[in-house]
Amino acid sequence: AGSYQGGPGKLSCKPCEVGSFCPAAASAALPCHEGSYSTATNLTSATECTPTDEGFYAPTGSMQQVVCSPGTVAPSARMGACDKCAAGTYQDDPGKLSCKPCEAGSFCPEAASVPLPCKLGSYSTATNLMSATECTPTDEGFYAPTGSMQQAECSPGTVAPNVRMGACDKCAAGTYQDDPGKLSCKPCEAGSFCPEAASAALPCHEGSYATA
């Protein structure tokens, strides 16, 4: 035990191989079972292979344990492969035992190593979203930049005529909007002028007038 010989008519046995064990009269080195490993060359049974630690894994016949990569975890010892983080969770560090809840303003697909931000024009306060389609679209009159946790009302001088807007539209020159959260701009008033993004109609200077 602890050695083997795969050829006929030999004069001596070979030391067992790393990642393997060799019972008595072995004609081949037998691989350590998944979830265990070995750096020794004299193991006699599978029970002498070293079990992996939590946060690590080892495929069949491994010479060493391997740390789980971000996006995966190993909550138990003796694991032959790491578990992928379920959709709605993530893990950004290697060698961890559990996944983290996704973050507000983000979504996490299966095996996520980082939370992915909700797209322009959408937002989220939840911590379990699995895809971008679960982020909430903004309402008319509101906007949301990438990765938003809530929608924001358009300020005076800007409007949001549609849903799913990542930014508000500025009122064009010749129009204005004095209220927040509106869908359209108002025509400028007689006796006034309105530059781009005007939040009020500005009076013509003294010595000038406008009927339009």
65 CB-near residues (< 8 Å, 6+ apart):
37, 50, 52, 53, 56, 57, 58
Residues of the chain with pLDDT under 70: none
- 122: nearest Cα among 138, 141, 98: 138
What amino acid occupies position 198?
Answer: A
| 133 phi/psi in degrees, rounded to 5 | -70, -15
Q: Which two tokens stand for residue 67?
A: 């740390």
Q: For 139-155, how does the pLDDT look when each residue is reduced to its tens digit (9 = 90+)? A: 999 999 999 999 999 99
The residues, any chain, with a CB within 8 Å of residue 3's CB and separated by 6 or more, are: 13, 14, 15, 16, 22, 26, 42
pLDDT at 8: 94
Any alpha helices (H) in 2-100, and if so which ranges?
none
Whether pTM exceeds 0.95: no
